[in-house]
Amino acid sequence: MKSNSYTISDLAKEYDITPRTIRFYEDQGLLTPSREGRQRVFSEGDNVRLRLILRGKRLGFSLAEAKEIIDLYNLESGGERQLIYLLEKIEQRRLNLQQQQEDIKAILLELKSVEKRVKGTLKGIRAK
């Protein structure tokens, strides 16, 4: 194997994921290893794509969104298009998270209100 190539075990260990996860990403067309006999051989490009996939997952992007971003590398001026697309996705994600944060705050306030009423009712019942 070449020095800038990786086995499925190498990548699984490096990113603390299972080989099954890597095979899933391969099945989805996100990774394209070559073969040496029966062994998958992943390139440095596959390694970078896997890192981007996992980073995207942590940021809340779907695999389809990650694939779109990665696929833009293959197009003319893909770097610029990819960055613009990524900025749009980041903005969407941030807005969604901010809305979820507001929703959570509202739910917590409602729970606090209900809790206060229930405690008051319980206190009245126990006082009898």
Whether 31 shows a pLDDT value over 70: the answer reads yes
Whether 73 shows a pLDDT value over 80: the answer reads no
Amino acid of residue 42: F
In a domain, 69, yes or no: no
Whether 77 shows a pLDDT value over 70: the answer reads no
The string of pLDDT tens digits covering residues 83-123 is 888 889 889 989 999 999 999 999 999 999 999 999 999 99
In a domain, 111, yes or no: yes
Burial class (CB in 10 A: 0-12, 13-18, 19+), 49: buried
Question: Which pLDDT does position 14 carry in this prediction?
Answer: 96
C-alpha–C-alpha distance, residues 11 and 48, integer Å: 11
- For residues 18 and 57, membership in a common domain is answered with yes
Q: How confident is the model at residue 43 (pLDDT cuts 50, 70, 90)?
A: very high
In a domain, 109, yes or no: yes
Burial class (CB in 10 A: 0-12, 13-18, 19+), 62: exposed
Domain CATH for 21: 1.10.1660.10
- For residues 51 and 1, membership in a common domain is answered with yes
In a domain, 126, yes or no: yes
| pTM to 2 decimal places | 0.69
